[in-house]
Amino acid sequence: MLEGKGIVKRFGGLVALDAVDFTVQKGTITGLIGPNGSGKTTLFNVITGFYRLDEGHLFFMEKSIERKSPHEIAKMGIGRTFQIVKPFLSMTAEENVAVASLFGREKHGEAYRDARKWIDFCGLEHKRNILASELTLVEVKRVEMARALAIKPELLLLDEPLAGLNPVEVNEALAIIQKIRSDLGITIVIIEHVISAIMRTCDEVIVLHHGAKIAQGSPQEVANSPAVMEAYLGRAFARSGSMNASAHVSS
Amino acid sequence: MKLIHVFVVFSALLASLAVLQTPTFVLVFLAVTFMYVGFSESWNLVGGYIGYLSLGHGALFGVSAYTVAILWNFYKISPLITPFIGAFFAMLVAICIGYPTLRLRGYYFALATLSLPLIASGLVNSFPDVTLAGRGIPNVSPPEIAFLLRPNAYYAMFLGYMILCVLIAYKVENSKFGHGLMAIREDEDAAAVCGINATKMKVEAFMLSGFLTGIAGGLFASYLTYVSPSSVFGILLSVTPVLMTILGGRGRWIGPVIGAITLDLLRNYISYSVLSVLNSLVLGVVLIVIVLLAPKGIYGVITQGVMRYVGRKGHS
């Protein structure tokens, strides 16, 4: 469904993405992990058109998307949320989502009715008419998710949806993410640092390190990959044996 | 009954003043106030809904005013028709300056627009054969309107202009277009992710704003019968709609209505009864007070007060 070939993104002398090849299969939940500064969010920004890639090719449903601007990408069916949340602060939760219903891909009746549906889907039915500026971070993240769903995407990119959430909220958010895939059939890519959540939820994991892809596979394969252990734990630790990387990283 | 209905009914009542025997000074005062309501409403489309602080709307106003004056002076085309031609030119100018400058954010956009009236004034002075440079173009007056009927005729025209602008702003506020503009104001990146083509929508809003501002400029030229660089390209004319909109509450159709009427009453009162030199001083003080105490303007203060009152009643 989404395919990147030899993606290179440079900021001046810094190579943020170094010849990254990756694929995302339709109907899967794919985790995108890696230490801080490894290029995860940069990859999202390249896919959604906020950054122009310097080299390489990007295909979404067999169509080239590397020269499209963010609003065109949205219209093609890629929704996203932001690591640093970007709600429409002076609008209510419902209005936030209604904007996406109005400008999204296909019309399903009245925009506000559509918006209410997505607000409820994300478990915010009691917060519909609250201004985004008065919502908690957890709620704003849900609003962003509802807003991304309201454009009727085929592919949803979630940038750290679990950061700053307590364990109960993490479980609620994961339930919503699984519901998005099972009920709506939307393919999902998640950037996340909560490795235990990635291991439980994802079918496939991509690991970035210093802008290069060092592993892609099932969560178990990736957890046992020496390159991944080295990136997360250092060379000495990685050499000491076949421990479960996920347990160490998440503790 | 919605506020907009109150506005329409009230405007219809005001229309009757044009045919009744109303004192001339009342008509003249109200006509200018109506013009400022419409002008501020046009500014609100850019400064309020998208939140791009334009400090150069006087340039758009002046382009149309000069178009009307030149078309009358050289081709004897009636100033009753030409405001629409002037508005069209103002719209073209809005596209030309909007396309590059609307990519700038925050203060940079404000600074870029601030230079526009200065550039326009320079252009006028460099073509004295057409514009008569600093002396200005006199005798821009439609011959169809008899001298005695002038106050009534212009009263009706400016009233019509105000109603047009307010209804367009109301329509925009409750439309898909308006939701897009407000989303851009709140966060351009998030708006793009929702499928909004921000650059295109900003230029469209600026075009509409330029056209409506141009109508005011064109009408004003023939109303004053005189256009000069200092009358249309001065900083005061560009800042007035900004002040009026912010005073009333920006990003709402009702804001410029409240703000323009309040400020126009205030400054006329000061000019006639206190001391006219205090006029611009008062404008400055009003701006400072509003920005410090009520950034959402008079309408914001009223709605907050009402909400507090309703809230208290709800609790008891």
Domain locations along chain A? 1-67+154-251, 78-152
Contact at CB, B187 and A148, closer than 8 angstroms? no
B2-19: pLDDT as tens digits: 899 999 999 999 999 988
Alpha carbon of B88: minimum distance to chain A alpha carbons (Å): 29
* pLDDT above 80: residue B114: yes
Among the listed residues B156, B198, B149, the one whose alpha carbon sits nearest the alpha carbon of residue B177: B198
Contact at CB, A88 and B190, closer than 8 angstroms? yes
Averaged pLDDT, B191-198: 95
* Cα A75 from chain centroid (whole Å): 17
Alpha carbon of A78: minimum distance to chain B alpha carbons (Å): 9
B279-290: pLDDT as tens digits: 777 778 877 888
Query: How far lies B59's CA from each of A223, B37, B105, in Å?
Result: 64, 18, 20
DSSP A161: T
Mutate which of A99, A129, A144 to test chain B, going by most B C-beta atoms within 10 A?
Answer: A99
Alpha carbon of A40: minimum distance to chain B alpha carbons (Å): 18
Q: Quick check: A70 contacting B, CB < 8 Å?
A: yes
Contact at CB, A99 and B187, closer than 8 angstroms? no
- C-alpha–C-alpha distance, residues B37 and B255, integer Å: 9
Which position has the higher pLDDT, B126 or B1?
A: B126
Which residues fall within 8 angstroms of residue A123, CB to CB, at 6 or more apart?
A142, A172, A176
pLDDT at res. A248: 46
Mutate which of B50, B194, B250, B307 to test chain A, going by most A C-beta atoms within 10 A?
Answer: B194
* pLDDT above 90: residue B291: no
Among the listed residues B157, B202, B149, B142, the one whose alpha carbon sits nearest the alpha carbon of residue B38: B157
- Closest residue, chain B, to A103 (C-alpha): B195
Q: Quick check: A79 contacting B, CB < 8 Å?
A: yes
pLDDT at res. A184: 94
pLDDT at res. A238: 61
* Continuous segment of H or E residues that includes residue A11: strand A2-11
Strands A204-209 and A29-33: parallel
pLDDT at res. A251: 38
- Closest residue, chain A, to B49 (C-alpha): A90
B219-246: pLDDT as tens digits: 999 999 999 999 899 888 999 999 999 9
Alpha carbon of A127: minimum distance to chain B alpha carbons (Å): 18
Among the listed residues A225, A112, A88, A51, the one whose alpha carbon sits nearest the alpha carbon of residue B176: A112
Closest in B186, B187, B195 to A103, CB measured: B195
Alpha helices (runs of H) in B141-277, residue ranges in sequence order:
150-173, 176-186, 188-193, 198-224, 229-232, 235-248, 254-269
**Which chain B residues touch A70 with a CB distance below 8 Å?**
189, 192-193
- C-alpha–C-alpha distance, residues A43 and A31, integer Å: 13
Architecture of domain A1-67+154-251: 3-Layer(aba) Sandwich (3.40)
Contact at CB, A70 and B192, closer than 8 angstroms? yes
Closest in B187, B193, B197 to A80, CB measured: B193
A21-59: pLDDT as tens digits: 999 999 999 999 998 889 999 999 999 999 999 999 999
Contact at CB, A74 and B198, closer than 8 angstroms? no
Strands A78-80 and A55-60: unpaired
**B274 within 8 A of B58, measured Cβ to Cβ:** no
Closest in A71, A91, A98 to B192, CB measured: A71
* pLDDT above 90: residue B260: yes
Alpha carbon of A101: minimum distance to chain B alpha carbons (Å): 8
A92-113: pLDDT as tens digits: 999 999 999 999 887 666 889 9
Contact at CB, A74 and B186, closer than 8 angstroms? no
**Which chain B residues touch A48 with a CB distance below 8 Å?**
193
Which position has the higher pLDDT, A250 or B91?
A: B91
Inter-residue long-range contacts of B280-288, CB under 8 Å, 24+ positions, other chains counted: B280/B236, B283/B239, B283/B240, B283/B243, B286/B243, B286/B247, B287/B243, B287/B246, B287/B247
Closest in A91, A102, A150 to B186, CB measured: A91
**B46 within 8 A of B206, measured Cβ to Cβ:** yes
Quote the ipTM score.
Answer: 0.88
Q: Quick check: A147 contacting B, CB < 8 Å?
A: yes
Which position has the higher pLDDT, A71 or B104?
A: A71
Alpha carbon of A222: minimum distance to chain B alpha carbons (Å): 31
Write the class of the CATH domain B3-268.
Answer: mainly alpha
The pLDDT-based confidence of B313 (bands split at 50, 70, 90) is low
Residue-averaged pLDDT of chain B: 91
Mutate which of A44, A50, A51, A71 to test chain B, going by most B C-beta atoms within 10 A?
Answer: A71
- C-alpha–C-alpha distance, residues B112 and A6, integer Å: 41
